[in-house]
């Protein structure tokens, strides 16, 4: 949770107005309240006994991403001794070089409150069963935290036709987002309309009521392309969500129809215009884009081409999601592109994960990684130096001319 006042704007284009400011104290959620009620995520479609939810894939043979891999979802035994170290390391990562005129935003990949995640939360009686103290401390120390929300919050709607796997969470589960410290989400992804426009609009209302900002979807195109704008210490950063993974054509927002902001090559112009408008207004611009092929660590050529178009239009940073695995990093015209941050809180069988810390200041954008691992619904930071080194070397190996320092600092190679 950002300790600072949350100053954000949700207006068409990058025209600004007032939005309710929310303090950390006002958004505190009691863990006891969250422990009550049904902790099973509603799901449609068959899954093998004991496997949990299975994620829809573009390639139905791509494998199950939410299988039970034998982990309980509880904190592994013996990990408590590392908790203080993890907390200190992660907090220091966020705070070590923060300037007085800067703003720090953390970005994650996919978040789905799957059965594994909900059961891990239930067993622990709170969010400590889902995220370790290292990640919770890093989130608390940052100014803002933004994620990709891979499901709707709703109890209404009709299951999408001809879609094998659909997700939906009860609205009260938004309290878990508050416990995680989430300040903003992108809703532009292939599960936002799993239960139709009613559930999508419910999601927007639930998030609004919880004080969590959203971008990438809405009641029409104008609303879907609205940015979330964070402001602190003289810095203004606009986040714009969009997707190039749309299961049905009518999931795309139009002037008179609810949906998501599309970024297919034939429909990308509204997104490019929104980027240009925010850039012209003097804001730093971050594009949160859902794209790529699941389980593929190599970005598709169209991803690289689109990212360059975003940057040419005025984007300062591109953050990708959807593949569920990490993809590489690339710089174009000095601007960083993270093709995929993988899963963050998901309950999947894919362990590698990370947060990206972006520190925006007048003259620079400094980037640092907070690497971690996830299994059985529990995500924790890496604390072992050798494990971190191997993680950074792996990421360098799948990136494009990028160096990752021993402290996680990201920079283009000379």
- Give the model's pLDDT for residue 21: 28
- Give the model's pLDDT for residue 165: 86
CA 245 – CA 292 distance, rounded (Å)? 8
- Give the model's pLDDT for residue 234: 96
Q: Is the dihedral of CA 175, 176, 177, 178 positive or negative?
A: positive
Global pTM reads 0.83
Note the CATH number of domain 8-412: 3.60.21
3-state helix vs strand vs coil in the chain, percent to 5: 30, 25, 45
Asked if 356 and 107 count as a contact pair (C-beta separation under 8 A), the reply is yes
Tokens 């639930």 label which residue?
Answer: 206
Q: In this structure, what token pair is assigned to residue 341?
A: 């941050």
Stretch (H or E) spanning 402: strand 402-404
Asked if 212 and 182 count as a contact pair (C-beta separation under 8 A), the reply is yes
- Give the model's pLDDT for residue 365: 98
pLDDT digits (tens, 9 = 90+) for 53-74: 223 333 333 333 343 333 334 4
Q: Is the dihedral of CA 233, 320, 213, 210 positive or negative?
A: negative
Residues of the chain with pLDDT under 70: 1-98
Report domain extents, the chain.
Answer: 8-412
CA-to-CA dists, residue 361 to 9, 97, 101, 288, 317, angstroms: 19, 11, 6, 20, 13
CA dihedral 329, 317, 189, 272 (to 10 degrees): -120
Q: In this structure, what token pair is assigned to residue 334?
A: 């000095």
Q: Is the dihedral of CA 68, 73, 77, 79 positive or negative?
A: positive
Q: Give the DSSP per-residue string, 47-77.
A: --TT-------SSTTS--SS---S--SSPPT
- Give the model's pLDDT for residue 59: 33
Q: In this structure, what token pair is assigned to residue 31?
A: 């863990």
Residue 146, classed as helix, strand or coil, is: strand
CA 227 – CA 16 distance, rounded (Å)? 10
pLDDT digits (tens, 9 = 90+) for 111-128: 999 999 999 999 999 999
Asked if 103 and 232 count as a contact pair (C-beta separation under 8 A), the reply is yes
CA 174 – CA 39 distance, rounded (Å)? 12
CA 106 – CA 127 distance, rounded (Å)? 18
- Give the model's pLDDT for residue 100: 81
- Give the model's pLDDT for residue 86: 57
């Amino acid at each position: 949770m950002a300790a600072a006042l949350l100053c954000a704007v949700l207006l068409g284009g990058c025209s600004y107005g007032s939005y309710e400011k929310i303090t950390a104290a006002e958004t505190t959620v009691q863990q006891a309240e969250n422990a009550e009620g049904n902790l099973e995520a509603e799901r449609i479609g068959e899954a093998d006994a004991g496997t949990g939810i299975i994620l829809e894939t573009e390639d139905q043979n791509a494998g199950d991403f939410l299988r039970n891999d034998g982990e309980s979802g509880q904190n592994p035994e013996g990990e408590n001794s590392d908790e203080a170290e993890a907390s200190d390391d992660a907090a220091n990562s966020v705070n070590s070089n923060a300037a007085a005129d800067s703003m720090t935003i953390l970005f994650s990949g996919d978040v789905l409150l799957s059965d594994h995640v909900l059961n891990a939360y239930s067993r622990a009686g709170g969010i400590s069963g889902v995220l370790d103290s290292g990640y919770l401390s890093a989130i608390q120390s940052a100014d803002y935290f933004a994620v990709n929300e891979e499901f709707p919050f709703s109890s209404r709607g009709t299951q999408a036709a001809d879609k094998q796997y659909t997700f939906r969470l009860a609205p009260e589960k938004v309290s878990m987002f508050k416990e995680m410290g989430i300040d903003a989400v992108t809703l532009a992804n292939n599960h936002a309309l799993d239960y139709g426009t009613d559930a999508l609009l419910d999601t927007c209302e639930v998030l609004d009521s919880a004080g969590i900002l959203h971008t990438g979807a809405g009641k029409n195109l104008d609303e879907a392309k609205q940015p979330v704008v964070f402001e602190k210490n003289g810095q203004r950063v606009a986040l714009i969500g969009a997707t190039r993974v749309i299961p049905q054509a009518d999931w795309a927002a139009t002037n008179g129809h609810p949906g998501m902001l599309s970024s297919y090559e034939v429909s990308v112009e509204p997104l490019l215009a929104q980027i240009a408008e925010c850039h012209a207004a003097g804001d730093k611009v971050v594009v949160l884009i859902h794209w790529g092929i699941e389980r593929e660590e190599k970005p598709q050529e169209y991803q690289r081409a689109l990212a360059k178009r975003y940057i040419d239009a005025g984007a300062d940073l591109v953050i990708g999601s959807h593949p569920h695995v990490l993809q590489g990093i690339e710089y174009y015209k000095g601007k960083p592109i993270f093709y995929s941050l993988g899963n963050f809180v998901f309950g999947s069988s894919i362990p590698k994960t990370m947060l990206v810390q972006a520190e925006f200041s007048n003259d620079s954008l400094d980037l640092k990684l907070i690497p971690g691992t996830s299994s059985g619904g529990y995500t924790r930071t890496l604390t072992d130096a050798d494990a971190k080194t191997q993680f950074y070397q792996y990421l360098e190996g799948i990136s494009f001319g990028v160096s990752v320092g021993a402290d996680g600092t990201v920079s283009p190679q000379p």
